[in-house]
């Protein structure tokens, strides 16, 4: 009876070890696949840019509007994320002029806000997208305190 019990316990123990050894490579492969998937999602590098509006005679430098943004390239597209802040609360709008260049020349978009705002957009690289410039201004129609352009080329 003792021998039979020892054989059964030994067989059960050997079976459990064999199952654990067989499962270990499958579990490692699952972990490696998950790690590869998250690495593929984070393959792009963010490129940061920022700037301030100009300022009129009755404003201090601390009251200027400003923006902060980044771009990255992923899946054949250039992605942009730009946030703006209007710090003087004078009821004048803050404007972002965003221009991009491709095979057909320069193209301009203007965004407007009266406070804090964020814009996200993208452009395809297929049309020869090869650079952009962005600046911020504050004021009323026709009288803007524009800051200097930030430019990037690819």
| pTM for this entry | 0.68
Question: Which of the four pLDDT bands, split at 50, 70 and 90, describes residue 54?
Answer: confident
Q: pLDDT tens-digit profile of 58-105?
A: 666 667 889 999 999 999 999 999 999 988 767 778 899 999 999 999
Query: Would you state the pLDDT for residue 86?
Result: 86
Query: Would you state the pLDDT for residue 25?
Result: 47
Who contacts 109 (Cβ-Cβ below 8 Å, separation ≥6)?
97, 98, 99
E strand intervals along 10-148: 47-52, 66-74, 77-85, 93-102, 105-113, 117-124, 131-140, 143-144
Q: Extract the tokens encoding 78.
A: 């250039």
Instruction: Please choose, from the candidates 88, 47, 78, 53, the residue with its C-alpha nearest in 3D space to the C-alpha of residue 67.
Output: 53
Report the DSSP beta bridge partners of residue 63: none
């Amino acid at each position: 009876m003792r021998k039979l019990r020892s054989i059964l316990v030994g067989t059960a123990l050997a079976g459990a070890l064999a199952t654990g050894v067989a499962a270990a490579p499958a579990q490692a492969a699952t972990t490696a696949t998950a790690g590869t998937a998250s690495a593929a999602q984070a393959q792009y590098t963010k490129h940061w840019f920022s700037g301030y509006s100009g300022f009129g005679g009755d404003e201090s430098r601390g009251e200027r509007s400003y923006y902060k943004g980044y771009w990255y390239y992923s899946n054949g597209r250039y992605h942009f994320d730009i946030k703006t802040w209007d710090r003087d609360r004078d009821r004048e709008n803050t404007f972002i002029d965003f221009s991009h260049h491709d095979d057909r020349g320069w193209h301009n978009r203007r965004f407007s806000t009266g406070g804090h705002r964020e814009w996200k957009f993208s452009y395809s690289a297929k049309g020869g997208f090869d650079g952009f410039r962005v600046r911020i201004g504050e004021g009323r129609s026709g009288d803007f305190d524009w800051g200097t352009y930030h430019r990037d080329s690819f």
